[in-house]
Amino acid sequence: MINYFNEEIKFDLTGKRVVSKWLRITALEKGFKIGQLNYIFCDDPYLLRINRDFLGHDHCTDIITFDYSKDYELQYGKNSISGDVYISIDTVRRNARIYGEGFERELHRVIVHGLLHLIGFDDITPELQTEMRVQEENALVRLSSML
């Protein structure tokens, strides 16, 4: 089950059904199924509080992902992914301008980025960042064919 919520921001994700289908297909391609996945769209101050409270970081990011897959394994089975993905719409908008991307494309990139983290991809080194970008781009190509 994929859910979409807002915290301290008015935002409505366009095409939720298509995005949800895309995320399920992306997970299945990697050998996973989606258990309980929550996307929470928020503003910079809200994400900054989460960063401070849970990660001890004093800076804002575009996304924070909390993995609950082990907690839900009995309910949804092995190779299922569950988690909360917090996305700052403020930062996504800013990054879209910085990188010369449309807002929707940048948002979709961040949405799938959170899913890829839950699947097991990381971006802590330059090599891993490159692989993450390849995975994001491949997923975005699929989404563009679904829209």
| pLDDT per residue as tens, the chain (147 positions) | 999 999 999 999 999 999 999 999 999 999 999 999 999 999 999 999 998 988 777 778 899 999 999 998 989 899 999 999 999 999 999 999 999 999 999 999 999 999 999 999 999 999 999 999 999 999 999 999 997
Model pTM score: 0.95
Compute the distance between CA of residue 30 and CA of residue 119 in angstroms, rounded to an integer: 8
Q: Are 80 and 33 in contact (CB under 8 A)?
A: yes
DSSP track, 27-44? HHHTT-EEEEEEEEEE-H
The contacts of residue 84 (CB under 8 Å, 6+ apart) are 38, 40, 65, 66, 68
Point out which residues pair with 64 in neighbouring strands.
86
